[in-house]
Amino acid sequence: MRPAESTSQTSFNPHVSLLFFHFVIEISEEVADQIIKGARQFSSERHVRDARVRDAVRERDAARINEAVLTIVVEHAERLQVLRKSEAATSRETSEVLEVVDWGIRTFGSYAGPSRNLNIPRISKISDFFGGQVGSTLI
């Protein structure tokens, strides 16, 4: 998601970040969609398989996804602060960075909403950045 080390750009590509956020939201919605699950006839084999898949995702992938989402949000939120203080910043650039922050928070909220246990290492940094609101009223 970061540019190649041979380039001078050091931040995340906003277009790739937005694409990543949209993928995570789609996957989150599909995994959590109880209507689709309820429409299928119950099968104990499928129930066991689905539980194994959910557990494997939580074990292997959830922490890295959380870390990636929050890293992107923090980086763009910090960049947004700099842009808002800069007189040379364009409204297009500011709105692009704001869009990434907005979609990052939506993405985080799609799978770690207020009713879920937020066991995420970077949550304190982003929560501090947004005035202690992450995980309670912001999402």
Q: What is the pLDDT of residue 40?
A: 76
Q: pLDDT-derived band of residue 76, with 50, 70 and 90 as boundaries?
A: very high
For the chain, how many structural domains are there in total? 1
70 lies in some domain: yes
How far apart CA 127 and CA 77 sit, in angstroms, is 12
Whether 8 maps to a domain, the answer reads no
Residue 138 counted as domain residue: no
Residue 44: inside a domain: yes
Query: Which pTM value belongs to this model?
Result: 0.65
Range(s) of the domain holding residue 106: 14-129
CA distances (Å), 39 to each of 35, 95, 124, in order?
6, 41, 39
In a domain, 135, yes or no: no
Q: CB atoms < 10 A from the CB of 54, how many? A: 12
Does 77 score more than 60 pLDDT?
yes
- Coil, helix or strand for 3? coil
pLDDT attached to residue 119: 45
Domain contains 58? yes
- Is the model more confident about 130 or about 87? 87
DSSP for residue 41: P
What digits encode the pLDDT tens for the residues 116-134? 444 444 445 555 555 554 4
Q: What is the mean pLDDT of residues 16-22?
A: 95
In a domain, 48, yes or no: yes
Confidence of residue 68 (pLDDT cuts 50, 70, 90): very high
Query: Is residue 7 in a domain?
Result: no
**Does residue 95 carry a pLDDT above 80?**
yes
